[in-house]
Structure 1
Amino acid sequence: MSTTQSERLRGLLEPLVNAKDLDLEEIEVSRAGRRRMLRVVVDSDHGVELDACAELSRAISEKLDETDAMGEGEYVLEVTSPGADRPLTEHRHYVRATGRLVKFQLREGGELTARIMGVDDEGVDAEVPGVKGRKPTACRLAFADVAKARVEIEFNRKDDKAADAPEGRPAGDDETDETKEEEA
């Protein structure tokens, strides 16, 4: 995709995305057989719900139909949120990952896996998990020292969600009783 098309699409779509209180993370145009694929990735501090993606997709589709930003020919539009393991590249990504376990690739070589405890303009305060019963260790990482960072998926994450869970239901248990009966 040419830079000018990318800039034009960003200029066209960013106001629509911002109007929905979302951040435009990425625009990608690629080939899917004979058609082109326009993938628009959006996010917010509170995540993105499926309904918000559907609403935004309709608004983007209408806007693209009014203009020639995608040129002639067919294309497929996909509006999505970033995956759970997407790279952290912007300050806001680190803020949103506070409390999460992150694998850092360091510029000087090596890697470090730590939980982000706080973020400021210069870097992150993190906590390296203890091994074999040892206590976690606090550390400071400057953004300038980080080559890459990616959230690690935790299946057995222990956090404060239990305090927010409805009475009698474990934290993170969003399924209804009917769903559980169907699975049995």
Structure 2
Amino acid sequence: MENSIIKQITDRLEALIDGSSLFLVDIKIKPTNNIKIYLDGDTGVTIDAVSKINRSLYKQLEESEMFPDGDFSLEVSSAGIDEPLKFFRQYVKNIGRKVEVTLQDDQVRNGVLTAATEAEITLEETIGKKKEVTSTAIPFGDIKKTVVQISF
């Protein structure tokens, strides 16, 4: 049942963001029919865009009567900076930023994301007391998760 609802919501959302730089990162539905949608964009996500999508999608869901008695809530937001990168587009968007990459063997690598192809990312790491800079290619298959590091 939940997969069917997610598919219907995804289809409606994709129609709303078609032709924009926005893309769907995740949809979560709690048992209380609290729907949370996380978006990202090649050039970022504005509050205005999130508000428009939220209003339009809410209206569509209400009219569809997918949830009896309108018993649902909807939250549309940008994917949080602390959320792991999920899609190639997110890696490309974050080139030049510091990231923490956790490999499948739980080894953690920190550095600057300098490139991303469909097959791998390139991480520039500063290693040792001499601060030696090395460039390492990491295939996507070796990555468990990648999180952008916030710098102040």
Instruction: Tell whether 2:64 aligns with 1:67.
Output: yes
Q: Greater CA radius of gyration, 1 or 2?
A: 1
Does structure 2 retain, via aligned residues, the 8 Å contact 1:17–1:42?
Answer: no
Measure, in 1, the Cα distance between the counterparts of 2:118 and 2:73: 38
Measure, in 2, the Cα distance between the counterparts of 1:36 and 1:109: 35
Q: 2:33 aligns with which of 33, 36, 43?
A: 36
TM-score, length-scaled by structure 1: 0.75
- Name 1:89's counterpart in structure 2: 86
Q: Which runs of 5+ in 2 are unaligned?
A: none
Measure, in 1, the Cα distance between the counterparts of 2:63 and 2:19: 18
Three-state SS of the structure 2 residue aligned to 1:48 is: coil
Measure, in 2, the Cα distance between the counterparts of 1:15 and 1:115: 35
Change (3 A) 1:21 1:116: closer
Structure 1 segments, 4+ long, off by >6 Å, are none
Instruction: Tell whether 2:107 aligns with 1:110.
Output: yes
Q: Which runs of 5+ in 1 are unaligned?
A: 156-184
Which of structures 1 and 2 has the larger relative contact order (alpha carbons within 8 angstroms, sep 6+)?
Answer: 2
Does structure 2 retain, via aligned residues, the 8 Å contact 1:107–1:146?
Answer: yes
Counterparts of 1:15-164 in structure 2, within 5 Å, are 15-31=15-31, 36-130=33-127, 132=129, 134-155=131-152
The number of residues matched between the two structures is 152
- Name 2:11's counterpart in structure 1: 11
Three-state SS of the structure 2 residue aligned to 1:148 is: strand
Measure, in 2, the Cα distance between the counterparts of 1:71 and 1:27: 20
Does structure 2 retain, via aligned residues, the 8 Å contact 1:27–1:41?
Answer: yes
Name the amino acid aligned to 2:126.
Answer: P
Deviations 1:125-177 (A, max 9, x none): 1101355552421111111111111111111xxxxxxxxxxxxxxxxxxxxxx
* Range that drifts further, 66-75 or 8-17: 66-75
TM-score, length-scaled by structure 2: 0.89
CA RMSD in angstroms comes to 1.9
Name the amino acid aligned to 2:93.
Answer: R
